Amino acid sequence: MTTVSNRQSTDVALMAHLLRRAGFGATRNEIDEYLKKGYEAVVEELLYPDHGEMEDQDLVDRYFIASVEARSAGHADPQWAWRLATSPKPLEEKISLFWHGLMAVGGVKLDHGLEMLTEIELFRQFGLGRFEDLLLEISRNPGMMYWLDNQNSHKGAPNENYGRELLELFAMGIDESGEGAYTEDDVKAAARAFTGWASKVTPPPFFLGPFPMEFQFDPEDHDDSEKTFLGQTGNWNGDDIVRMICGHRAAAHFVALRLYDYFVSDTPNEAEIERLTDVFQANDGEIRSVLREIFNSDHFKSEEVRFKKMKSPSDLVFGTTRLVDRFEIPESDSGNLANNTMFMGQHLMNPPSVEGWHEGEEWVDSGALIERINFASTEVSRLDARGVQEMLERVQSAGDELNSEAFVDACLDGLGAIDASARTKSILIDHADRYGTPWEREAPDAIERTIEMFQLIVSTPDYQYC
Amino acid sequence: MAPENFSYQDTIGIASFLGRGFMNPVDVRLDSTGMMFVLSRSNAGNKNVRISAVTLDSEFQYEFANWGTEPGQTTMPTAIAFDSQDRVYVPDEHMNNISVFERDGTFVKRWGELGSEPGQFNRPSGLVIDSEDNVLVMDHLNARVQKLSPDGDYISSFGSEGNGPGEFNFAWGISLDSDDGIWIADWRNDRVQRFTANGEFVSTIGSTGTGDGEFDRPSGVHVDDSGQVYIADWRNNRVQVFNNDGGHIETLTGDATLSKWCQEFVDVNPEQAGWRENAGLFEEEKRFWRPSAIETNSDGLVLIADACRHRIQIYSKVPEPALT
Between A62, A64, A206, which is nearest B265 by CB?
A: A206
d(CA B41, CA B58) in angstroms, rounded, equals: 20
- Does B279 sit within 8 Å of A211, measured CB to CB? yes
Residues A28, A24: Cα–Cα separation, whole Å? 13
Q: B28-70 pLDDT, tens per residue?
A: 999 999 999 999 999 878 889 999 999 999 999 999 999 999 9
Among residues B14, B55, B20, B18, the alpha carbon closest in space to that of B35 is found at: B55
| Any domain includes B324 | no
A–B: how many Cβ contacts below 8 A?
A: 102
Give the number of C-alpha atoms closer than 13 A to the C-alpha of residue A342, restricted to the C-beta side: 12
Helix (H, G, I), strand (E, B) or coil at A321: helix
In this predicted structure, what is the pLDDT of residue A198?
A: 94
Contact B308 A69 (CB under 8 A): yes
Q: Which positions ≥6 away from B315 have C-beta within 8 Å?
A: B3, B6, B7, B8, B9, B252, B255, B301, B302, B304
Minimum-distance CB partner of B279 among A59, A63, A202: A202
pLDDT for position A107: 85
CB contact A340 to B (< 8 Å): no
> In degrees to the nearest 10, what's the CA dihedral of B200, B202, B206, B207?
60
DSSP B250-270: EEE-------HHHHHHHHH-H
| Chain CA centroid to CA A398, Å | 33
Q: What pLDDT shows up at residue A279?
A: 98
Task: Classify burial at B104, counting beta carbons within 10 Å of its beta carbon; exposed 0-12, middle 13-18, buried 19 or more.
Answer: exposed
- Secondary structure (DSSP) of B132-180: TS-EEEEEGGGTEEEEE-TT--EEEEE-EESSSTTEESS---EEE-TT-
Q: Is A309 exposed, middle or buried (0-12, 13-18, 19+ CB in 10 A)?
A: buried
Is the Cβ pair A335, B75 closer than 8 Å? Answer: no
Contact B170 A207 (CB under 8 A): no
Query: Who among A67, A201, A335 is closest to B275 (CB)?
Result: A201
What pLDDT, on a 0 to 100 scale, did the predictor assign at position A5? 58
Rounded to an integer, the average pLDDT of B259-274 is 96
**Model pLDDT, residue A400:** 96
Say what the pLDDT of residue A2 is: 47
Nearest CA in chain A to B11: A208
pLDDT in tens, A58-106: 999 999 999 999 999 999 999 999 999 999 999 999 999 999 999 999 8
- B320 falls in which pLDDT band (50, 70, 90)? low
Phi, psi of B230 (to 5 degrees): -110, 130
Per-residue model confidence as pLDDT tens digits over A408-445: 999 999 999 999 999 999 999 999 999 999 999 999 99
Residue B102 reports pLDDT greater than 90:
yes
- Average pLDDT on B86-102 reads 98
For A196-251, the pLDDT digits (tens) are 999 998 888 999 999 999 999 999 999 999 999 999 999 999 999 999 999 999 99
| Per-residue pLDDT reduced to its tens digit, A23-71 | 999 999 999 999 999 999 999 999 999 988 899 999 999 999 999 999 9
Check CB contact under 8 Å for B278 and A201.
Answer: yes
Q: How far B12 CA sits from the closest chain A CA (Å)?
A: 11
Interface residue A66 vs chain B (CB under 8 A): yes
Which of chain B's residues have a Cβ under 8 Å away from the Cβ of A74?
45-46
**Looking at beta carbons, which residues of chain B come within 8 Å of A206?**
15, 265, 269, 272
pLDDT at B319: 80
Check if B308 contacts A (Cβ < 8 Å).
Answer: yes
Name the closest residue on chain B to residue A208, using Cα atoms. Answer: B309
Q: What are phi and psi of A154, to 5 degrees?
A: -120, 155
Q: If we measure between CA atoms, which residue out of A253, A263, A262, A277 comes closest to residue A180?
A: A253
From chain B, pick out residues whose CB is under 8 angstroms from the CB of A71.
15
Q: Which domain holds residue B181?
A: 6-317
Q: Which has the closest alpha carbon to B203: B146, B162, B244?
A: B244
Residue B45 to residue A78, Cβ atoms within 8 A: yes
Measured between beta carbons, the chain B residues lying within 8 angstroms of A107 are none
| CATH number for position B220 | 2.120.10.30
Is B289 at the interface with chain A, CB within 8 A? yes
Contacts of B41 in chain A (CB under 8 A): 65-66
| Distance from the B21 Cα atom to the nearest Cα atom in chain A, whole angstroms | 9
Percent of chain A with pLDDT over 90: 89
- A286: β partners: A130
First to last CA, chain A: 28
Question: How large a percentage of chain A has pLDDT more than 70?
Answer: 98
Pick among A62, A339, A342, A348 to test the B interface (most B CBs inside 10 A): A62
Q: How many CB atoms lie within 10 A of CB A195?
A: 24
Cβ(B303)–Cβ(B56) under 8 Å?
Answer: no
pLDDT per position as a tens digit, A273-286: 999 999 999 999 99
The pLDDT tens digits of the residues spanning B164-176 come to 999 999 999 999 9
Question: Is B189 a domain residue?
Answer: yes
Q: Does B94 touch chain A (CB under 8 A)?
A: yes
| For helices A238-246 and A184-193, angle between their N-to-C axes, nearest 10 degrees | 140
pLDDT at B19 over 60: yes
Confidence of residue B184 (pLDDT cuts 50, 70, 90): very high
Q: Return the closest-CA partner of residue A137 out of A166, A95, A173, A107.
A: A166
The residue in chain B having the minimum alpha-carbon distance to the alpha carbon of residue A339 is B45
- Per-residue pLDDT at B321: 58
Nearest residue in A to B308, CA atom: A69
B305 touches chain A (CB under 8 A): no
- Cβ of B262 and A68 within 8 Å? no
Number of domains in chain B: 1
Q: Check CB contact under 8 Å for A200 and B279.
A: yes
Rounded CA-CA distance B87/B37 in Å is 12
Between these two residues, A264 and B319, which has the higher pLDDT value?
A264
What per-residue confidence (pLDDT) applies to A289?
98
Query: Residue B137: pLDDT above 80?
Result: yes
Chain A neighbors of B24, CB-CB under 8 A: 65-66, 69
* B321 CB within 8 Å of a chain A CB: no
When pLDDT is averaged across residues A292-298 and rounded to a whole number, the result is: 98
Q: H-helix or E-strand containing A235?
A: none
In this structure, is residue B64 part of a structural domain?
yes
B136 vs A: CB within 8 A: no
pLDDT above 90: residue B324: no
Is B323 among the domain residues? Answer: no
Q: How far apart are CA B12 and CA A172, in angstroms?
A: 52
CA distance B173 to A154: 52
pLDDT for the residue A10: 86
Is the model's pLDDT at B322 over the cut of 70?
no
Report yes or no on B313 lying in a domain.
Answer: yes
Q: What phi and psi, each to the nearest 5 degrees, are found at residue B6?
A: -140, 150
Say whether residue A33 is in contact with chain B using an 8 A CB cutoff.
Answer: no
pLDDT band at residue A320 using 50, 70 and 90 as cut-offs: very high
Query: Which of A65, A74, A336 has the CB atom closest to B308's CB atom?
Result: A65
Residue B210: which of B243, B240, B185 has the closest Cα?
Answer: B240
